[in-house]
A and B are shown apart, each in its own frame.
Chain A
Amino acid sequence: MGALLGRLGEAAASLLGVCTLVFLLIHLVPGDPVAAMLGEGARAVDQAELRAALGLDRPLWTQYLDYLGGLARLDLGVSLHSGRAVTALLAERAGPTLELAVAALALAVVVALPLGVLAALHQGGWIDRVAMGFSMLGAAIPNFWLGPLLILVCSLWLGWTPVSGRDGPLSLLLPALTLGTGLAAVLARMVRSSLLEVLGEDYVRTARAKGAGPARVLWRHALRNAWLPVLTLLGLQFGALLGGAVITETVFAWPGLGSLVVESIQARDYPLVQGAVLVIALAYLVVNTLTDLLYLALDPRIRSR
């Protein structure tokens, strides 16, 4: 219980830190942020107007309190480009990104878990070598190459899937495959090495000495321990996916957070950039806190610390 509260307290502290950093982001722009937003040669009147609209003419600490107040009301300001509320824009894009992240992760886990387990159980055999060969390949192929290749084969030659955009479940397949491949490659390796380590542990020998069969040893003893380091990796990777896979989303014109970040930076839409960064950081924080809590549930040794 103490460990749980402690972990949640830490998460709350990190959250405040993230918010503060995002707030300061706009002030870190070299020179005058307003000039940077409007571009060179903007009229002084327009600059003053924007500065007042953004509240940049007031003292820093009032701006900070206003900003925190806005956060509490889920008000992240207004996009300079479209004039719409930043929260609304983010909400629109968060759904597709979450969809893509979950699909990619599910794909990766479904492929990597059996692959890693099989490779570990047949260490040094041909299954192991083939599996690790694929894993090496998967990790080495960059997304900006795999994405277009999949489009070329599946959409243009075979005509199975839409080329790009988000239109029905079939359109999710290629971006998820692109993102999932690299993830599956890393994950399979991790599963394999973690399981191999656990299979060499004394308590696995104890289980065998009790007369437990290979299936029981694997499921009841080995995998439950081998999971733990894999989980950490999974949490980190999922957090990164939620941040929006910038390259993959751009290649497939997927309307997620990643492409929103690219668009807003190009448009110098600072309130939107700020909002997007906040959401991405938040996603990371939430996923990693959840991972830690899961760890607490799975590993009794951490619970009592």
Chain B
Amino acid sequence: MSAPLLEVEGLSTTIGAARVVDGVRLELARGETFALLGESGCGKSMTALSLMRLLPPAGRIEAGAVRLDGVDLLRLSEAEMRRVRGARLAMIFQEPQTSLNPVMRIGAQIAEAVRLHAGAAAAVDARVLELLRAVGIPDPERRAREYPHQLSGGMKQRVMIAMALAGDPELLIADEPTTALDVTIQAQVLGLLKTLQQQSGLAVLLITHDLGVVAETAERLAVMYAGEIVETATTAAFFAAPAHPYSRMLLESLPTADKRGARLAAIPGRVPPLDRAFTGCRFVERCPRALARCVEQLPPWHEAGAGHWVRCHLWDADLVDTATVAEPAVAEGEQVPVGEDAAPLLEVADLKVHFPIHRGVLRRVVGQVRAVDGVSLRLRPGRTLALVGESGCGKTTAGKALLQLIAPTAGSIRYQGHELAGLSHRRMRRFRKDLQIIFQDPHASMNPRMLVGDVIGEGLQALGLARTRPERLRRAAELLELVGMPGAAVERYPHEFSGGQRQRICIARALAVDPRVIVCDEPTSALDVSVQAQILNLLKDLQARLGLSYLFITHDLSVVAYLAHEVAVMYLGRVVEQGRVEEVLERPRHPYTRALLSAVPVADPRAERRTLRLEGDMPSPSAPPPGCHFHPRCPEARPECALAYPEGRAVSATHRVHCILVEAEG
């Protein structure tokens, strides 16, 4: 290997009293993709910002060297550093929505980057269009004159990439570049990065929490935990045999189809605070194989294979034979066979939710957003029905309409034979006890000024199930124990808890009134994978113990594969395919379902390459394409597809598909 492009040595960064990056060492070759992998708060983004010298005001680089082609960036003056930023070293960020200046045209923002680094001002406009074309933006002349809010999220990230490419950088730092995007759009953006890299020999430092993205894009990787790197390896070696207990637990906490029926390996506890000195391994408190020396001595680096290094005492010479021993297999949770043939508890037929679009002074109705446009579902007792789709497909609206939190425009929702659609608030109340909801963001869904006990007890009070406060608090404490929290938490405020703990509190709140159905609206998408595993385990346990039915709204197909019994795939307000999970995920028939499945990055570099990539964005639900809504993006579309929305065709007794290419079963 020739001299590395980037060499980071002993990099330490503090924010206030916290040492968020501690002694990080990295090497990147030209043209290489290197992933820095870790959960939130591990210091991966701060490492990236340290390289760019763009830390937030309280941040300070305490020590280390960052050599780009042999020049230490940390020793440059700020003016010299500005000539490096955007020119030799460029960066794109997680949130394309907020990373572009909202009051500047796209073209002007790219032109700025071009001018800052091109010597002559000549041909700036031509260069802008060339860059927009290079990142695959159709009609670049028009787009250059538009403002960021007129572009979709995927387009904005392409613009960010165009801007980063403006100075012809040698290294691109991509900080969670696809985390805010839908999977089909993520596949587009990752594909674009790969293509650009092959064309220009760009090296990419990919910062991510997503093991699947790493497996599909990176050549080498490093795992960060609590501010330091604990393992570094080639991607193939890492996924074949992760060496650090933390890495191994991360992989085991991923939900997948083959873990159905088993509990996920959740990592107990939380990342230690970084404002103190460590005497031993930082992972020791959460490590199932911790030894006495792990508490007392800093673990040294050991070589676990060619180019595979790990910082762990289990690889000490006297223990190395046991280091690779797998953890004891997790106990098989028993499958709950209840409900497969039982009568549906909740039956939704042709549900529609349309939102009028108002225009002009008189607020006339000029159109309808067909958020949910004819959805039919059946939820049986003790079962989990997943409603899956990308953002804007109407899945959340459908969930809320089901609980009458949004008034449906048309359709029927029958709960145990009772029609819920159109019920008055008063008459709906008696069903509120049975039908509960858990929201996506556990930070925003609790009143910060209420004690946890009162948050949980509010439903009991509102429905008159527990009249006195002591009675409610006692019940709240029992519920907290049920979701694996100490009962004493009733006396504390929501902000005192971590994201995972708050989601447990939200689950306890939903359980307070002893419901039969819980609508779970993306309950784990704001959480790290190891915490997600805890919550998924808990939901599974509760279902087994209490016979709950879940309507599980999610965009994450691996969660569906792990948790759900039935699944309905939504696109633009309609269900395009539904059936039992094995049928839909293993033998998908609708082209959209197949594209969605092939876009999900798999945390296994040996997995077969994807073949289907969707072009373009999802159209607006206010003007869905005629005929089959999916046909403009469908790789298999035929002229007939534009004529009429396809009727549902039964592939089996339980599996229905809305696509004319699918032959109905005899």
> Are A and B subunits of one complex?
yes
Binding site for B on A (CB under 8 A): 2, 5-6, 9-10, 13, 123, 200-203, 205-213, 220-221, 224-225, 298-301, 304
1/0 per residue, CB under 8 A from A, across B428-468: the answer is 00000000000000000000000000000000000000000
A293-B166 Cα distance, complex, nearest whole Å: 35
Which B residues touch A221, using CB under 8 A? Answer: 101, 104
18 pairs, CB–CB < 8 Å, chain A vs chain B: A2-B360, A9-B361, A10-B361, A200-B56, A203-B98, A206-B93, A208-B85, A209-B90, A209-B164, A210-B163, A210-B166, A210-B167, A211-B83, A211-B87, A299-B103, A300-B102, A300-B147, A304-B149
Do B361 and A225 have beta carbons less than 8 Å apart? Answer: no
A-contacting residues, B4-55, CB 8 Å = 52, 54
A294 to chain B, nearest CB (A): 13
A202-B98, A209-B86 known, 11 other contacts, Cβ within 8 Å: A2-B359, A203-B99, A206-B93, A206-B100, A206-B160, A209-B52, A210-B86, A211-B113, A211-B117, A212-B112, A301-B149
Do A298 and B103 have beta carbons less than 8 Å apart? Answer: yes
Do B82 and A213 have beta carbons less than 8 Å apart? Answer: yes
Which B residues touch A205, using CB under 8 A? Answer: 54, 93, 99
Do B116 and A206 have beta carbons less than 8 Å apart? Answer: no
CB of B95 closer than 8 Å to a CB of A = yes
Do B98 and A211 have beta carbons less than 8 Å apart? Answer: no
A106-B595 Cα distance, complex, nearest whole Å: 60
B582 to chain A, nearest CB (A): 42
B69 to chain A, nearest CB (A): 17
Binding site for A on B (CB under 8 A): 52, 54, 56-57, 79, 82-87, 90-91, 93, 95, 98-104, 112-113, 116-117, 147, 149-150, 160, 163-164, 166-167, 359-361
Which A residues touch B102, using CB under 8 A? Answer: 203, 225, 299-301
A221-B100 Cα distance, complex, nearest whole Å: 10
A212-B166 Cα distance, complex, nearest whole Å: 13
A168-B149 Cα distance, complex, nearest whole Å: 51
Closest B residue, CB atoms, query A211: B86
Do B101 and A225 have beta carbons less than 8 Å apart? Answer: yes
Which B residues touch A10, using CB under 8 A? Answer: 361
B175 to chain A, nearest CB (A): 10
Do B116 and A211 have beta carbons less than 8 Å apart? Answer: yes
Do B101 and A207 have beta carbons less than 8 Å apart? Answer: yes
A6-B358 Cα distance, complex, nearest whole Å: 12
Which B residues touch A299, using CB under 8 A? Answer: 102-103
Which B residues touch A201, using CB under 8 A? Answer: 98
B147 to chain A, nearest CB (A): 4
A14 to chain B, nearest CB (A): 12
Which B residues touch A5, using CB under 8 A? Answer: 361
Which A residues touch B99, using CB under 8 A? Answer: 202-203, 205-206
A207-B99 Cα distance, complex, nearest whole Å: 9
Do A212 and B116 have beta carbons less than 8 Å apart? Answer: yes
A79-B167 Cα distance, complex, nearest whole Å: 72
Residues A6 and B361 in contact in the complex (CB < 8 Å), given A211-B116, A300-B147: yes
A123-B93 Cα distance, complex, nearest whole Å: 26
Most buried by B among A200, A207, A220: A207
Q: Which 6 A-B pairs have the closest CB atoms?
A: A211-B86, A9-B361, A300-B147, A210-B86, A202-B98, A211-B85
A54 to chain B, nearest CB (A): 35
Closest A residue, CB atoms, query B361: A9
Partner of A6, one of B116, B149, B167, B360: B360
Residues A209 and B54 in contact in the complex (CB < 8 Å), given A2-B359, A201-B98, A304-B150: yes
Do B167 and A211 have beta carbons less than 8 Å apart? Answer: yes
A205-B95 Cα distance, complex, nearest whole Å: 12
Which B residues touch A300, using CB under 8 A? Answer: 102-103, 147, 149
Most buried by A among B52, B85, B103, B104: B103
A221 to chain B, nearest CB (A): 5
A300-B29 Cα distance, complex, nearest whole Å: 43
A201-B100 Cα distance, complex, nearest whole Å: 10
A201-B116 Cα distance, complex, nearest whole Å: 21
Closest B residue, CB atoms, query A200: B56
Partner of B103, one of A206, A213, A225: A225
A300-B145 Cα distance, complex, nearest whole Å: 12
Closest B residue, CB atoms, query A300: B147
Most buried by B among A10, A205, A206: A206
Closest A residue, CB atoms, query B114: A210
Which A residues touch B167, using CB under 8 A? Answer: 210-211
A16 to chain B, nearest CB (A): 13
Partner of B95, one of A9, A123, A202: A202
A296 to chain B, nearest CB (A): 12
Residues A210 and B112 in contact in the complex (CB < 8 Å), given A298-B103, A299-B103: yes
B215 to chain A, nearest CB (A): 27
A304-B100 Cα distance, complex, nearest whole Å: 17
Partner of B85, one of A123, A210, A225: A210
Closest B residue, CB atoms, query A8: B361
Do B101 and A203 have beta carbons less than 8 Å apart? Answer: yes
Which B residues touch A203, using CB under 8 A? Answer: 98-102
B149 to chain A, nearest CB (A): 5
Which A residues touch B56, using CB under 8 A? Answer: 200
Partner of A211, one of B82, B103, B150, B359: B82
Which A residues touch B164, using CB under 8 A? Answer: 209
Do A210 and B113 have beta carbons less than 8 Å apart? Answer: yes
A298-B112 Cα distance, complex, nearest whole Å: 19
